[in-house]
């Protein structure tokens, strides 16, 4: 039985099934991707850039279709899905505009030779393993720079995103990406491991869970393959100011985005103890006022979680936290009826001896902490196995920057949270993974930074 299905999380109905790749077909995929590399790498850089522009234009033209597809697959409200698709278009255009310059030769100090030059050249076939929570954006982060640089791609998407994966492949090929330079596969985890181990594959990029990242890193390391991993997060949101109401509203809305299913969502809100009650009341009011329901309804703020299994897992985490002594202010329960809906939830009183203190809660749950000092806030923020991003909020920007510089994260923000743009690096430290995507950094992961040094002729 295939695991690649569109199971609408709003209704619980299985709408479509997709056939999995057979073991016998794996060899053909690898051979095709490897063979396509020679022609794709030799395609003029300007032509590759023009193809990326066509991809961006197709995303804009088919925005509604793309948005409705993931609303049915993983439950994202259509308005939020349209925003994701717009960002994807920006990413493809950014690499089309800046990619040629990033691939230009860099002239070094000759250091005793006639010339010393660094070339940025592609390496071959790359495997991408993508998650379901941002089905288009996370593919764009991986695909845009690697197509631009001249690598070929084998893309394995999350099983619940089979339909959107097929749409993307259709768009890429229609824009001019050769059929075998981008291959969408409905593969099993074992088949992905086989691909990574194959000498024709030169690297692996995965966005997903710690468990998936560890499994991929093990296979990649054993086979001496480059890996980029973007894993989980439990991002701190530190408030320094006394005037917290407006900040609390922004934090609450950010936490509810994509039903809380974002690695860089503000999962841990840290505020001064004398403002804890006010901040918590405001977050509760936003959570209780947010409309939960059909993601195709334009008034819906919070759709279902990706599946009933995912929803039940988050509910269990909340119940465990309460059993261990946390205070539940609102929500905490599954919503009765069809679909994977959950009440938006606010917790306080989570302490270090509770499971919720250490876990990533991947759903519409805000955990608010009170602290007595900035030092305590920073200590709490850094007391996590994760290190994706974090933010600091204050009218005193200089003070906030000093605090942000103390965070053990890959992305530190002041007076904003989780901003992602094509030219900014994205990635974390600690158990949030390694490597970077987007910007010039995303162009530098799967390349051969090759030195060409020429000495004077001897005669």
What positions carry a catalytic annotation? 230, 263
Element (H, E) at 451: strand 447-454
Residue 302 DSSP one-character state: B
Closest to 269 measured CA to CA, from 350, 333, 157, 339: 350
DSSP letter string, 12-23: --EEEE-PPPPH
β-pair type (268-272, 365-371)? parallel
Task: Count Cβ atoms within 10 A of the Cβ of residue 224 and give its class: 0-12 exposed, 13-18 middle, 19 or more buried.
Answer: exposed
Q: Which residues pair with 36 in a beta bridge?
A: none
Give the integer Cα–Cα distance in Å for 218 and 37. 26
Backbone angles phi, psi at 352, to 5 degrees: -65, -25
CA 422, distance to chain mean position in Å, is 13
In 240-388 the beta strands, taken as DSSP E runs, fall at 268-272, 327-330, 345-348, 365-371, 386-387
Give the integer Cα–Cα distance in Å for 293 and 337. 11
Element (H, E) at 60: helix 45-61
Residue pair 198/211 in contact (Cβ under 8 Å)? The answer is no
β-pair type (327-330, 345-348)? antiparallel
Q: Is 454 helix (H, G, I), strand (E, B) or coil?
A: strand
- 433's tokens: 């993974």
CA 314, distance to chain mean position in Å, is 20
Give the integer Cα–Cα distance in Å for 77 and 73. 11
Give the integer Cα–Cα distance in Å for 438 and 99. 11
Give the integer Cα–Cα distance in Å for 184 and 387. 31
Q: How many other C-beta atoms can be found within 10 angstroms of the C-beta atom of residue 24?
A: 7
Residue pair 29/185 in contact (Cβ under 8 Å)? The answer is yes
CA dihedral 383, 215, 435, 406 (to 10 degrees): 0
Q: How far apart are the first and last CA of the chain?
A: 71
């Amino acid at each position: 039985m295939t695991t690649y299905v569109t199971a609408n999380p709003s209704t619980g109905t299985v709408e479509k099934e997709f056939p999995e790749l057979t073991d016998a077909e794996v060899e053909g995929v690898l051979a095709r991707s490897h063979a396509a590399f020679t022609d794709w790498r030799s395609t003029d850089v300007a032509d590759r850039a023009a193809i990326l522009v066509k991809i961006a234009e197709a995303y804009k033209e088919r925005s509604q279709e793309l948005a409705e597809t993931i609303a049915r697959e993983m439950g994202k409200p259509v308005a939020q899905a349209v925003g994701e698709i717009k960002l994807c278009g920006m990413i493809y255009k950014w690499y089309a505009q800046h990619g040629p310059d990033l691939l230009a030769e860099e002239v070094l100090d000759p250091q005793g030779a006639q010339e010393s030059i660094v070339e940025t050249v592609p390496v071959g076939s790359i495997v991408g393993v993508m998650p379901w929570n941002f089905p288009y954006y996370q593919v764009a982060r991986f695909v845009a720079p690697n197509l631009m640089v001249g690598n070929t791609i084998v893309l394995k998407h999350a099983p619940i995103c089979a339909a959107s994966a097929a749409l993307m492949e259709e768009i890429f090929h229609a824009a001019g990406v050769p059929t075998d330079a981008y291959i969408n596969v409905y593969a099993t985890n074992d088949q992905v491991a086989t691909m990574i181990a194959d000498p024709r594959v030169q690297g692996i990029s995965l966005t997903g869970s710690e468990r998936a990242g560890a499994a991929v890193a093990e296979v990649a390391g054993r086979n001496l393959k480059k890996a980029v991993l973007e894993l989980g997060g439990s991002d701190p949101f530190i408030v320094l100011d006394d005037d917290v109401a407006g900040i609390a509203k922004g934090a609450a809305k950010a936490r509810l985005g994509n039903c809380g299913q974002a690695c860089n969502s503000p999962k841990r809100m840290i505020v001064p103890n004398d403002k804890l009650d006010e901040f918590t009341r405001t977050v509760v009011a936003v959570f209780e006022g947010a409309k939960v329901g059909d993601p195709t309804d334009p008034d819906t703020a919070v759709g279902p979680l990706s599946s009933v299994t995912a929803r039940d897992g988050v509910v269990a985490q909340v119940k465990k936290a309460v059993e261990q002594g946390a205070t539940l202010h609102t929500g905490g329960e599954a919503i009765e009826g069809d679909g994977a809906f959950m009440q938006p939830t606010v917790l306080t009183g989570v302490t270090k001896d509770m499971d919720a203190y250490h876990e990533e809660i991947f759903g519409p749950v805000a955990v608010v902490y009170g602290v007595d000092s900035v030092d305590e806030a920073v200590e709490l923020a850094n007391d996590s196995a994760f290190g994706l991003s974090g933010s600091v909020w204050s009218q005193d920007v200089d003070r906030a920057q000093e605090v942000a510089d103390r965070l053990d994260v890959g992305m530190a923000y002041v007076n904003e949270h989780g901003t992602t743009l094509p030219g900014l690096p994205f990635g974390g430290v600690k158990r949030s993974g390694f490597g970077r995507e987007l910007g010039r950094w995303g162009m530098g992961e799967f390349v051969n930074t090759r030195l060409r040094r020429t000495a004077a002729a001897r005669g």
